[in-house]
Amino acid sequence: MVGRQYVIGNWKMYKMAREAVQYIEKLVPLVERCEANIFLAVPFTAISACFQAAKNANILIGAQNMSDAKEGAFTGEIGSLMLKEAGASFILLGHSERRHVFGESDEFIHRKVIRALQDDLQPILCVGETLAEREAGETEKALKRQIFTALKQIPKEEAPKVILAYEPVWAIGTGKTASAKMAGDAHAFCRACLAEIFGKKIAGSIPILYGGSVKPDNTKELISQEDIDGVLVGGASLDPESFSKIVHHCEKKK
Ligand code: PEP
């Protein structure tokens, strides 16, 4: 357990800039004195407006994807420095929708992690098994492959800047949540992988968040697990009231 819990909202491709600002204006008073790290991964077009709206609040704004290249002839791509210029301070990488809808490979995600660290954008590395992998008894094999590939060649001193999110693919946007025990076991395994790569002390300082149909009414049980350091929330982050309830449940585990 790393101390203050992390609560990250992933808005996916929802909310125009104006709606995003209205959301933040509603959320700020609901989480004003909360002792949790609150992050919102918003659409590219809303980053700048959200950054301005959240400037004096305890909320960090980030993005959901980026290029692995610094700059270049890559039509339609967006670079880490562009995101930073707009106000992003973190980046979701390897989200299951990027892996499975857009075909991103472990190697490609690795290059993005390196790019984010080089350009001082905090990487939130998402990993998780598919239903087929879980049913075949290959959850640990899938997690190990994703974690070891994404984090290879990262100097030990850079490792504490990474946040890991365990998100079983079959639980994302489906309403099916992993049981607390199932999530706890997967988190312990992820922690062991981090210890193998960076050593036990550094592994203990890397937050590991759970994601997959997190809602206000299942948060408490999930975060009661030793190795769960917060949550990554998709659907339930779209409404400021439900997101703030999740933040309040998390801040109780300090
Ligand atoms: C996500 O988008 O990372 C996610 C976990 O979505 P949901 O909470 O909707 O399952």
Closest CA to 93 of 224, 232, 189, 213: 232
Mean pLDDT over all residues of the chain?
A: 96
Mean per-residue pLDDT, 149-176? 95
pLDDT tens digits for 37-74?
999 999 999 999 999 999 999 999 999 999 999 999 99
SS (H, E, C) the chain: CCCCCEEEEECCCCCCHHHHHHHHHHHHHHHCCCCCEEEEECCHHHHHHHHHHHCCCCEEEEECCCCCCCCCCCCCCCCHHHHHHHCCCEEEECCHHHHHCCCCCHHHHHHHHHHHHHCCCEEEEEECCCHHHHHCCCHHHHHHHHHHHHCCCCCHHHHHHCEEEECCHHHCCCCCCCCHHHHHHHHHHHHHHHHHHHCHHHHHHCCEEEECCCCHHHHHHHHCCCCCCEEEECHHHCCHHHHHHHHHHHHCCC
User: Can you tell me which atom of ligand 1 is nearest the CA of 236?
Assistant: 8
- Residues 213 and 235: their CA atoms lie apart, in Å, by 7
Residues with catalytic annotation? Answer: 95, 167
Q: State the pLDDT at residue 175.
A: 86
The answer to whether residue 188 scores a pLDDT higher than 70 is: yes
Question: How far does the centroid of ligand 1 lie from the alpha carbon of residue 43, in Å?
Answer: 15
- Residues 57 and 38: their CA atoms lie apart, in Å, by 10
pLDDT tens digits for 77-123?
999 999 999 999 999 999 999 999 999 999 999 999 999 999 999 99
Ligand 1 and 212: CB distance under 6 A = yes
The answer to whether residue 29 scores a pLDDT higher than 70 is: yes
Nearest residue CA, atom 4 of ligand 1? Answer: 234
Q: How many CB atoms lie within 10 A of CB 190?
A: 24
Q: Which of 233, 237, 239 is the pocket-test mutation for ligand 1 (most atoms within 8 Å of CB)?
A: 233
Question: Regarding predicted confidence, which is higher, 176 or 141?
Answer: 141
pLDDT tens digits for 219-229?
999 999 999 99
Q: State the pLDDT at residue 177.
A: 85
CA atoms within 13 A on the CB side of 231: 35
Token pair of 219 as six digits: 């948060």
Q: State the pLDDT at residue 178.
A: 87
Domain ranges of the chain: 6-251
Ligand 1 and 93: CB distance under 6 A = no
- Residues 44 and 47: their CA atoms lie apart, in Å, by 5
Nearest residue CA, atom 3 of ligand 1? Answer: 234
Is this prediction's pTM over 0.85? yes
The answer to whether residue 1 scores a pLDDT higher than 80 is: no
Nearest residue CA, atom 7 of ligand 1? Answer: 234
- Residues 162 and 169: their CA atoms lie apart, in Å, by 21
Token pair of 202 as six digits: 């550094």
User: Can you tell me which atom of ligand 1 is nearest the CA of 211?
Assistant: 5
Question: How far does the centroid of ligand 1 lie from the alpha carbon of residue 68, in Å?
Answer: 23
Nearest residue CA, atom 2 of ligand 1? Answer: 234
The answer to whether residue 163 scores a pLDDT higher than 90 is: yes
Q: Which of 90, 232, 237, 242 is the pocket-test mutation for ligand 1 (most atoms within 8 Å of CB)?
A: 232
Ligand 1 and 169: CB distance under 6 A = no
Out of 1.10.3720.10, 3.30.2010.10, 3.20.20.70, 3.20.10.10, the CATH code matching 6-251 is 3.20.20.70
